[in-house]
Amino acid sequence: MLCRDGGKQQATSGMFLKRWALVSVGCVATALAIAGAILPGLPTTPFLLVALWAFARSSETLNAHLHRIPLLSHALAEAHRFEERRAIRPGVKATAISVAWLSVFVTAVSTGLARPVLVSCVAGAAVLGTVAMMWIPTDRS
């Protein structure tokens, strides 16, 4: 990729860095989505949406691999539904809100409220998740 015009070489290296950054974001988001599919309290769909976004802009191959991960098939279906309708099914919203607040409860009980900063952070995340779920339109079909 040697170019006599320094501007073209900088543009090429800039595109490479952007692609590398997007692939990195996609890989981290995929790992977090897989962890979310296994661990209660960690969401799957938001990380999956980030991975889909990043891979769609950087790597068709990784995007195709993402679609073939069996553990993420349900979350992928929900992500595609959201992409098409820009709304979330009521059951998905209820599950997300319930799991968020269950995480607050489990954190509070397991720490015996001895770590108020941790419980506050988890509660703050639950509040943000609840607000997001209420803000996003509900798919009534």
Ranges of each domain in the chain: 1-85, 88-141
More confident residue, 1 or 75: 75
| Residue 74, strand partner residues | none
- Cα-based torsion angle of the residue sequence 111, 119, 30, 39 in order, rounded to the nearest 10 degrees: 40
In this predicted model, what pLDDT tens digit does every residue of 86-132 receive, in sequence order? Answer: 898 898 889 889 988 998 999 999 998 888 999 999 899 889 889 98
> Global pTM?
0.61
Confidence check: pLDDT of 7 > 80: no
Picking from 41-50, 59-68, 121-130, which range would have the lowest pLDDT averaged per residue? 41-50
How crowded is the C-beta side of 40, counted as CA atoms within 13 Å? 11
Please give the average per-residue pLDDT across 57-85, as a whole number.
90
| Residue 88, strand partner residues | 138
Residues contacting residue 27 through CB under 8 Å, at least 6 positions apart: 51, 62
Please give the average per-residue pLDDT across 127-138, as a whole number.
90
